[in-house]
Amino acid sequence: MISLITFKSTPAANGRGSKWFFLIFAIIGLGLTGLASYNIYKNITTPWHIVTGYVQTSEVISHTSSDRISFSPFITYNYSYLGRWYTGSYNTGVSSGDYGESQSIVNKYKTGTKIQVKVNPSNLQHSMIKQDFIFENYEWMFVLSFGAVFVVVPMVMHIFSRRKIA
């Protein structure tokens, strides 16, 4: 016996429920993408000054929780701006269970290594190691992609919920 598959027409599938679902997720998604876009734009256009710095310490730090051990690189560096020396630190903020991943970053920034440091001229103690665009903005790139998913997935669901398979 062959049966045909059809989508039942329900209020949630074709009525106001799916429109509200799409609208709410679209608003959240557009908000997230707007927030991320603004912060990426701000990071690009903020007039940070580039100075030379030197790695002071570089080590892998372990974090222990009840169920696992994770690792992250921690780097401190010195830099001079307008004749005064400052100290900054770098921590990815992301812990990984892979020691080798953190160690590879520590190996890149060995003690005494000359580096480029971005200094915020509005707050001279606010600095960061200069890196490529993606790595400097990875948090906001994640938020941007998450926001895009919040917009695209409900849109696709809405389109396919209106189709009938005969």
pLDDT in tens, 11-20: 444 555 667 7
Both tokens of 101, joined, read 């991943």
The confidence score (pLDDT) of residue 153 equals 82
CA dist 18 and 22 (Å) reads 6
Give the per-residue pLDDT at 95.
Answer: 65
Residue tagged 């665009």 (tokens): 133
83 touches 131 (CB < 8 A): no
Lowest mean pLDDT among 15-29, 65-79, 80-94: 15-29
Domain borders along the chain are: 49-120
Q: Round to whole Å and give the CA distance between 88 and 79.
A: 8
Nearest CA among 136, 151, 139 for reference residue 36: 139
Q: How confident is the model over 35-72, as pLDDT tens digits?
A: 888 888 887 777 888 899 999 999 998 888 778 888 88
In this prediction, residue 93 carries a pLDDT of: 59
- DSSP 3-state percent helix, strand, coil across the chain (nearest 5): 45, 30, 25
Q: What is the pTM of this model?
A: 0.58
pLDDT-based confidence at residue 136 (cuts at 50, 70, 90) = low
Tokens found for residue 31: 């908000």
